[in-house]
Structure 1
C-alpha cells in the first residue's frame, strides 16, 4: 500500500471532486460518515447513552467534525461542540457545516484566545477535529499551547482524533499534539503512525475508506509503502506439483560461539519452516551435537576451534549456495572478526554474488571496522540491525525523522538493503524507498526473535525471491506468526521458538488472503 505525501493527498481529494462530479462538501460528508460508521460499530450502537465533546477548528478538519456532530446528534447522541478560534480564516466547508449545525439546534460554543478554559466532564468522549493533516507550522501562541496541555491532562474515557491528532505534522518533527486513544485516518496511513516518537499521541489507528479512485493512486510515484496482505500475496509463489528440494535452494547459516549456539538453531529452524530446500550450518565444534540432535534436517559443518569461529572455508565460496545468513551468536573475538573480514574480501575478489543476510555480531563487527562495509556485495546484501546495532553503524539521531534519513542514506551509500527491526519494522532499499511492516506485536520483543527473522529471510532468498521481496515477505510473515502466537498464547508468553512454530499458520492466512 502506498503512503502518500500531504500534497499527493490533496491531489487525490481534488481528483475525486473533479472526476466524480462531487463537491468538496460531499467528499467531506463521506469522510464524516466513515467516522460515524466506525463510532457506531465501536460502541455497539449505544449512541443514546453517550455524550460527546467535539472540538473543531475553522478549517476543513473542523468541517469534518461539524458534519460528524450532526450525524451523531440525529442518531440520539448528546453532542456539545466547541469552536476553537485559533485563526481568522474560515474554510467554505466549515461555514456550510456550521450553518447546518445551527439549523438543528445543536449546542455550539466558542473558545477565543484569553478565555477561561471550559470545565469538561471526563465521562464524555472527546472528538478532536481541530487541525487535521494540513498543519504545517508550530502553534505559536502560548494560550493555545496551554489549552492543548490542559486537554492532555484531562482523563477522558476516550479521545478520537479525525485523520491525525491535532498538532501532529505529516512530514516533520512535532510541537504540541493532542493525545488520542483512537485515530480515524482516511484511506492511507501517515508516516508518523509508524514512529515511536508519536505512538503516545496516535494511540490505535484505523484506516477508513472514503472512496478514493485506486487507479489514480496506482499511477502516483511514492517513496514510502505500508506492507499489507495484498502486497505480500502478490509476491508469494506457490509450489509446483513436480518440484523437489533442489528447486527451493541450498542455504548456508554461519554463526554461533560457546553459549550462543541457540541463536544459530533458531535461524536454521526458521529457514526450514519458511520453505528452504536444503540448509548447511557452519558453527564452532561445540555446537555440533546440539544442532545434529535438535535439527537433524540440517547439514553440519564445524570450525576447527571448539568455542568460536576462527575461519570460514574457501569451499563455501566455490560451492553454489543460493543464500547465506551470517552473524547470529558469532561473538566479537578478534579471530572471528578477522574470519568475517577475510570471507567478505574473498567473496568480493571472486565477484561471487551470493545473496547474504548479515545480522547481530556480524553487524557489530562491521560497526567496529567500517572499511569492511565497502566489501559488501551491492544489491545482494541485507543488514538486519535492531535499534542499538543501527546506532553503532550510523551514530545517534535526535528524532525518528532523522533516523529514517540516516537509514535511507546508509542504504543508498552502500547500495544495500537495511531491515531495522522493531515495532513496524522498516525496510530501506538501495533506491531510498521505505517499507513499513503492518504485522507484529510487543510480545515479539524477546530474545531470539531477530535470529528467527534472519533465518526466514535467508530461506526466502534461497528459494529465489529477490532481496527486496525476501525482506518484505520475511518481515510480514515474521510479524504475522508473532500475531497468531499472541492470540493463541499471549504477548507476555511468546518465545522465539513460538514464532517459528506459527510460520505455517501465517502462510495459511497469507494464502487465504485473511
Structure 2
C-alpha cells in the first residue's frame, strides 16, 4: 500500500528529491510540467483546442507557465496565459519559467487586484493558481477569479489540485473552489480527493509519476494508505490441488426477514461466489423457497437454532442484512461469539441501541456501516474528516475494524491506520451492494483470511467486480451482477 502524503510531506519529498536526486528544483518543475502536459494531450489531442492557462505567482503557477510553453511547442497554438498578480511575491521557479515563456509566441495577460476580469472564450482552462499549499478559504480577488472561471462553464483541468480545495484536513462546506472536470495530480493523490466534500471541486483525478523518492515517502510518518492491485494479489491465496469444500470453510449468514429476504439472499450468494466452501443461511422458513431458487448451493440453518447453538461449528459469521426487528436474541449471539464476525445493517442498528456491547465483541470484528449507520453508532458528524477521526478512535479503542462505506471506502484498522480502497464506481450506487460486500467478507473469513486481509481484499474485490462490469459498458451495475462477476474479478488477480 502506498502512503498518502500531507501537503507538508509532499514539500518535504520535493526537497529530499532535489537534495539527494541530483536535480535542481527548476528541472524537477520541468519534469513535473512535462508529465502534466503528456496526460493533458491524451485528454485533449486536438491541437486546435484553445487553452487558457490561469497561473498564480507561486510554484503551482510556475508549473502552469511551463505547461503552456510545452504545449505550445507540441503544436497547440491557441494558448493564452493569465497571471493573477494578487500578491507581491513570486517564487524563483515562477520567475524563471515566466522568462522562458516570454521567448515564445504565447500571449500573457496580467490580472491586477480589483481589476475587471476579461471574458473567457477558450475551450479549456488549466487551473494553476494556488496548488496544495492553501489552508484557508478563498477570498477577495482569488474568490472572484475562481467564480469567474466556474461561471464560464468550460472544461477545466487542475494542475495537482483544484484551487480552493485543501489537500488534507477538514474541508468546510463553505469553502469555494474552482471546479475541475479533471485533475492531474503529482506522484500521489491528495488525501482530500477521497472525501465526498471534494465533489464540489472535482470530478476525476489521475496521478502522474514525477520521480520523487518513493523510499523516502514510505519512511514518512502517516497512517493513510492507498490499496493497490499488488496488495490484493499479495493477500489472495490460490487454491491448491487436492483441496475440497472443507478446505475453504463454512460461512453462516444470519439475516433476512419476510419483507427483506433479498438482503439475506444477496449476502449468501456473494459468500458462495467469493469462494466459501460451505455457506449456510439462517433465515425465516418463509424465505427457503426463494433461497433454493436463487442459490441452491446454500444450506438452510433453521432460525430457532440461532442462539449460539452450533455456531462453533462454523468458521465465520455475518449478522444483519435485512434482519429487521427480529425475535433473534442478538445480545446473546454477539456476546457469545468467539471469532470475529461481520456486522452489518440491522445488527449495527442493534449495536447503536446497546453501545456497551461494542466492548464485548471479539477483537478484530468487522463492522460495515454506511454514513447514517456510523452516525447512529458513534454520534452525528457534520463532515467526513471528523467522521473518519472518530472511526480511527473507536477502532483503536475497541480493537475492531470499521469499514466506512462510500465511493472510496475507508478501512479503519485497530492500529489506527486507514486503508483507502480505490475500486468501485458510481454505477454501483444501487440497493443491495452492502449486502454483497458482507457476503464477500464473511466468505473470506471462512476461508481462513485474517480479518485485516479479509477487509482489504474483500473491499477491493467487491469494487473490482463493479469496475469490470462498468468498463464492459454497464452504466448501472445491479448487485446480482456484481455477485456473478466476483469469480472473474478473483481470476484477474492471477494476471
Find 2:403's aligned residue among 419, 425, 433.
419
Q: 1:291-320 deviations in whole A, cap 9, x for unaligned?
A: 23432222211124xxxxxx7233234x24
CA distance in structure 2 between the aligned counterparts of 1:54 and 1:450, rounded to whole angstroms: 43
| Mapped contact 2:340–2:363 kept (Cα < 8 A) | no
CA distance in structure 2 between the aligned counterparts of 1:457 and 1:330, rounded to whole angstroms: 18
| Mapped contact 1:113–1:144 kept (Cα < 8 A) | no
CA distance in structure 2 between the aligned counterparts of 1:330 and 1:18, rounded to whole angstroms: 59
Deviation at 1:403, TM superposition (A): 1.8
SS of equivalent to 1:342 = helix
Tell me which residue corresponds to 2:72.
Answer: 73
Instruction: Provide TM-score, normalisation by structure 1.
Output: 0.92
Deviation at 1:509, TM superposition (A): 2.1
1:463 is aligned to 2:486: no
| Mapped contact 1:386–1:422 kept (Cα < 8 A) | yes
CA distance in structure 2 between the aligned counterparts of 1:510 and 1:346, rounded to whole angstroms: 36
1:96 is aligned to 2:116: no
Find 1:501's aligned residue among 462, 484, 493.
484
CA distance in structure 1 between the aligned counterparts of 2:58 and 2:330, rounded to whole angstroms: 58
CA distance in structure 2 between the aligned counterparts of 1:269 and 1:19, rounded to whole angstroms: 53
Q: 1:479-507 deviations in whole A, cap 9, x for unaligned?
A: 11112222335223x22110001112211
SS of equivalent to 1:22 = coil
Instruction: Provide TM-score, normalisation by structure 2.
Output: 0.95
Tell me which residue corresponds to 2:50.
Answer: 51
1:399 is aligned to 2:392: no
Find 1:165's aligned residue among 140, 162, 166.
162
Tell me which residue corresponds to 1:446.
Answer: 430
1:288 is aligned to 2:281: no
Q: 1:438-482 deviations in whole A, cap 9, x for unaligned?
A: 111122121211111000010111111111111111111111111
CA distance in structure 1 between the aligned counterparts of 2:37 and 2:58, rounded to whole angstroms: 19
SS of equivalent to 1:377 = coil
100 and 244 in structure 1: CA distance in 2 versus 1, 3 angstrom threshold: same
Tell me which residue corresponds to 1:176.
Answer: 176
CA distance in structure 1 between the aligned counterparts of 2:263 and 2:176, rounded to whole angstroms: 43
Find 1:377's aligned residue among 362, 375, 383.
362
| Mapped contact 2:86–2:141 kept (Cα < 8 A) | no
Deviation at 1:28, TM superposition (A): 0.4
Tell me which residue corresponds to 1:308.
Answer: none
1:355 is aligned to 2:334: no
Deviation at 1:398, TM superposition (A): 1.8
Find 1:368's aligned residue among 353, 363, 382.
353
* Structure 1: segments with no counterpart, 5+ residues: 305-310
| Mapped contact 1:331–1:361 kept (Cα < 8 A) | yes
CA distance in structure 2 between the aligned counterparts of 1:291 and 1:399, rounded to whole angstroms: 40
CA distance in structure 1 between the aligned counterparts of 2:260 and 2:123, rounded to whole angstroms: 53
Tell me which residue corresponds to 1:136.
Answer: 135
SS of equivalent to 1:117 = coil
Tell me which residue corresponds to 2:332.
Answer: 342
SS of equivalent to 2:259 = coil
| Mapped contact 1:332–1:365 kept (Cα < 8 A) | no
| Mapped contact 1:55–1:84 kept (Cα < 8 A) | yes
CA distance in structure 2 between the aligned counterparts of 1:487 and 1:222, rounded to whole angstroms: 33
| Mapped contact 1:83–1:110 kept (Cα < 8 A) | yes
CA distance in structure 1 between the aligned counterparts of 2:435 and 2:384, rounded to whole angstroms: 25
1:312 is aligned to 2:306: yes
Q: 1:24-74 deviations in whole A, cap 9, x for unaligned?
A: 011001110011111222223x22x12111111111111100111111112
Deviation at 1:270, TM superposition (A): 0.8
Number of aligned residues: 490
| Mapped contact 1:55–1:129 kept (Cα < 8 A) | yes
SS of equivalent to 2:258 = coil
| Mapped contact 1:60–1:94 kept (Cα < 8 A) | yes
Please give the residue correspondences for 1:92-131 in structure 2 after superposition, counting only pairs within 5 Å: 92-121=92-121, 123-131=122-130
CA distance in structure 2 between the aligned counterparts of 1:296 and 1:138, rounded to whole angstroms: 57
* Structure 2: segments with no counterpart, 5+ residues: none
Deviation at 1:222, TM superposition (A): 2.4
| Mapped contact 2:18–2:24 kept (Cα < 8 A) | yes
| Mapped contact 2:13–2:212 kept (Cα < 8 A) | yes
Tell me which residue corresponds to 1:321.
Answer: 314
